[in-house]
Amino acid sequence: MAQKQVKLSEENYQTRLQQLGTDARPDGTIVIKAPIDGIVVDPATTPEHEIKVGESRQDAGEPIFTLINSQQVQVSANIYEKDLNKIRRGQGIRGWVSSSPDKTFRGRINQIGSVVEGENRIVAVKATLDNPDGQLKPGLFVELEVLTDRTSTPVLAVPQSAIVKTNDQQNLVFVQNGNVFEPITVTLGQVSGDWVEITDGLFAGDLVVSQRASQLYAQSLRAKPAEKIEETEESTEITASTFTLPGAPPWLLPLGGTVMAAGLFWAGSLWGKRQQSQQLREPSLTSSPEEPSLEVEKVLIETPSHQDFP
């Protein structure tokens, strides 16, 4: 009986060697070559499944370890059904982790789910992020942004803080014209973070009030007709610098749900002529030296570079 078991064990042993495609060393050990570079991870999740030195396993299909490719990681996220037309396989993405907010990880979408799930109408998406330094670990939460097609068409943009919603639901900005601030009605386009596109009403290089604009509007409503808001050196600080979006990024639109976002495709922008000083009211207000200063910024003209993430 014992000899039969030994013979069976020997046959099983030789079969395993054939399956592995290798021969045993004189000491009875074998070398298993990994198909990829990576880190060996013990698959055991409980003590009873832990593999110990010298232990043998009988199940040919039982894994002895897992090999993780640390140079790339796969991330899973969800997007809303309404945003499906904005993404595609192979599309560039970038991501951040809370532990290293200043480091950007780049990659691509490699799988888009075919089923819309749940009451929130979400679709599962999987992507691969480059991880050359091995900083991304399994189980980490990652904030993702997905970028759609972009063009090099210039767009005008101002900080959202420069936009004032009037009582009759118009949008205006206060533009510096010499020593006065003129309210100019504008047409808004797409939004990217703290910036908003201006499709009509402004020209590149216009100086607009970017802080306390709503207070300026409220004061203008109390002003006398046919007068303008005058500027004094004591009350207004002018910053005549041209602002650029950080890193010259494409415009991004949050998709919601799982912190994914998609860049907006700019089909082009038409710049309408500004009408001659069409003021909502002819404001009449002289700024007081005691009031906090107004910040004035140039209208940004931004031409995103046409490049995708590797």
At 210-231, the pLDDT tens digits run 888 888 888 888 765 544 445 4
77 shares a domain with 18: no
In a domain, 196, yes or no: yes
- Is the pLDDT at 93 greater than 70? The verdict is yes
211 shares a domain with 78: no
In a domain, 41, yes or no: no
277 shares a domain with 207: yes
280 shares a domain with 163: yes
189 against 30, higher pLDDT: 189
116 shares a domain with 239: no
295 shares a domain with 187: yes
298 against 29, higher pLDDT: 29
CATH value at residue 245:
2.40.420.20
Band of pLDDT at residue 179, cut at 50, 70 and 90: confident
In a domain, 273, yes or no: yes
In a domain, 263, yes or no: no
Band of pLDDT at residue 299, cut at 50, 70 and 90: low
| % of the chain at pLDDT higher than 90 | 12
Band of pLDDT at residue 205, cut at 50, 70 and 90: confident
135 shares a domain with 173: no
126 shares a domain with 11: no
177 shares a domain with 140: no
In a domain, 84, yes or no: yes
In a domain, 287, yes or no: yes
Out of 146, 177, 211, a domain closes at 146
In a domain, 46, yes or no: no
User: Rounded to whole angstroms, how far apart are CA atoms 171 and 19?
Assistant: 72
238 against 26, higher pLDDT: 26
- Is the pLDDT at 271 greater than 50? The verdict is no
Q: Please state the rounded mean pLDDT for residues 57-70.
A: 68
The overall average pLDDT reported for the chain is 68
Q: Please state the rounded mean pLDDT for residues 293-297.
A: 57
Out of 146, 177, 197, a domain closes at 146
198 shares a domain with 114: no
Nearest CA to 269 out of 175, 187, 193 is that of 187
User: Rounded to whole angstroms, how far apart are CA atoms 196 and 157?
Assistant: 5
How many folded domains does the chain comprise? Answer: 3
pLDDT tens, residue by residue, 138-174? 888 888 888 765 555 678 889 999 999 988 889 999 9
- Is the pLDDT at 61 greater than 90? The verdict is no
Query: What pLDDT is attached to residue 54?
Result: 60
Lowest mean pLDDT among 48-57, 75-84, 131-140, 202-211: 48-57
In a domain, 58, yes or no: no
218 against 299, higher pLDDT: 218
Find the domain containing 4 and state its range.
1-32
Band of pLDDT at residue 263, cut at 50, 70 and 90: very low
CATH value at residue 132:
2.40.30.170
273 shares a domain with 159: yes
Q: Is 216 exposed, middle or buried (0-12, 13-18, 19+ CB in 10 A)?
A: buried
